[in-house]
């Protein structure tokens, strides 16, 4: 009994010193993390990681689809569709691409024209169908186009156009071009509204006009036909429209457990967002934004009877989010279930802690050595890869640090 009385007295007298010691040890643990900079509350449980260069010599790579753990298809924003071997670094240009591809080198940092997403058919092993989004040109300008073709050795064959987001315009911004197959085996496609300045918007903003093919997300059958259960926007609406109010969504991915589709969205000045796709939803651009308008004098027009869907996450800084993916690998157990988001602004890779439909925390990785990133993607074997937005673009792999 006397022992417990003395122990209680000791704790009461020294409790401040004990807590100070705990915080000192915690501080030493944070310093030991080294390779990455973490800002979330669970930083002490986050494993160390390093980026390893796997392939070099790509021309602003945009997207990657895994044919196997070692072999991938890569789209180059200002180059070609290529088959790349991750083990040897060899690159082979795929022939047979349509001649209307507009992939001229960018003349403006905001220029988005070129090759965008590439995804495989859910039954690729039997069908050989490959889906590609890109900027297609004609004398009046360019627009977002989606095709599919069957990959036979080093060539695309039986190429079919599935979506052309007319009108063709001289603006070379915000094409979108993100694609993903949902668990329903439907193809979801993002198309941007193509304007850089809000002041250029017509009286009915592009992304709020269901008769305009821009500024929306589409849902298509694999052959380009329309699912019977798509939202009904009225008899004059664009065929295939699934959601509207989109400014510049590029990244889109499917949650591995819930099957929900998440997508990234570029704001104008700040206002970068993460959204969950819902049938018939209006994501608000330009009627509302979590950031600011590029033109301070711009006032959105009053439009009644519009129910607007809020993002599940937004940043108070410019991230310029691009590709994103959920992590289910085994190398980093503390990261399982996290949403990884690649960013152009500041060269950032973000990890979002997700619970259900909520983002609980966010952190920036490799903040001490930023690289502009276009895509983050997971291989069939559970490894994370990054695509750098550089003229001499690279494929990087995230490995445990030694």
pLDDT confidence of residue 346: 85
User: Pairing state of beta strands 61-66 and 71-76?
Assistant: antiparallel
Q: How many CA atoms lie within 13 A of 298 on its CB side?
A: 22
Helices (H) and strands (E) in the chain, counts: 2, 24
Which candidate, 356, 272, 349, 310, places its Cα nearest to that of 51?
Answer: 349
- Residues 177, 312, 361: CA angle, nearest 5 degrees: 110
Structure tokens at 250: 């590029």
| Average confidence (pLDDT) over 271-293 | 97
Which residues are CB-contacts of 99 (< 8 A; sequence separation ≥ 6)? none
| For residue 364, pLDDT beyond 70 | yes
What would the two tokens of residue 373 be?
């990133």
First-to-last alpha carbon distance for the chain, in angstroms, is: 50
DSSP conformation class of 43: G
SS3 content of the chain, % helix, strand, coil (to 5): 10, 40, 50
Q: Is the pLDDT of residue 32 over 80?
A: no
**Confidence tier at 13 by pLDDT (50, 70, 90):** very low
Q: Around Cβ 399, how many Cβ atoms within 10 Å?
A: 15
Positions marked catalytic:
174
pLDDT computed for residue 103 by the predictor = 87
Which of residues 243 and 12 earns the better pLDDT score? 243
- Looking at residue 107, its pLDDT comes to 67
pTM of the entire predicted model: 0.88
């Amino acid at each position: 009994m006397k022992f417990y009385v003395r122990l209680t007295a000791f704790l009461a007298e020294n409790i401040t010193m004990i807590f100070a010691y705990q915080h000192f040890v915690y501080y030493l643990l944070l310093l030991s993390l080294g390779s990455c900079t973490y800002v979330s509350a669970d930083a002490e449980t986050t494993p160390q990681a390093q980026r390893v260069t796997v392939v070099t010599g790509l021309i602003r790579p945009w997207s990657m689809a895994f044919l196997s753990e070692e072999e991938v298809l890569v789209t180059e924003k200002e180059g070609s569709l290529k088959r790349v071997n991750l083990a040897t670094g060899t690159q082979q240009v795929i022939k047979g691409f349509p001649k209307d591809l507009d992939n001229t080198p960018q003349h403006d940092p905001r220029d988005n024209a070129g090759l965008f997403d590439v995804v495989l058919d859910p039954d690729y092993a039997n069908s050989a169908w490959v889906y590609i989004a890109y900027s297609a040109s004609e004398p009046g300008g360019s627009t977002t186009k989606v095709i599919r073709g069957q990959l036979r050795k080093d060539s695309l064959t039986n190429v079919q156009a599935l979506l052309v987001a007319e009108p063709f315009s001289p603006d070379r911004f915000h094409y979108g071009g993100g694609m993903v197959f949902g668990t329903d085996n439907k193809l979801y496609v993002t198309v941007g509204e193509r304007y850089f300045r809000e002041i250029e918007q017509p009286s009915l903003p592009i992304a709020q006009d269901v008769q305009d093919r821009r500024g929306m997300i589409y849902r298509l059958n694999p052959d380009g036909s329309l699912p019977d259960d798509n939202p009904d926007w009225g008899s004059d609406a664009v065929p295939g429209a699934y959601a509207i109010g989109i400014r510049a969504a590029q990244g889109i991915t499917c949650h591995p457990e819930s099957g929900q589709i998440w997508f990234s969205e570029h704001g104008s000045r700040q206002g970068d967002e993460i959204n969950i796709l819902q049938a018939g939803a209006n994501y608000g651009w330009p009627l509302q934004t979590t950031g600011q308008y590029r033109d301070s004098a711009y006032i959105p027009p009053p439009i009644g009877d519009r129910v607007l869907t809020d993002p599940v996450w937004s940043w108070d800084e410019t991230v310029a989010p691009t590709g994103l993916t959920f992590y289910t690998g085994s190398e980093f157990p503390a990261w399982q279930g996290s949403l990884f988001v690649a960013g152009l602004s500041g060269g950032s890779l973000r990890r979002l802690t997700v619970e259900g439909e909520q983002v609980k925390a966010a952190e920036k990785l490799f903040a001490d050595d930023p690289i502009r990133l276009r895509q983050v993607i997971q291989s069939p074997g559970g490894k994370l890869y990054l695509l750098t937005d550089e003229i001499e673009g690279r494929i990087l792999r995230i490995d445990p640090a030694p």
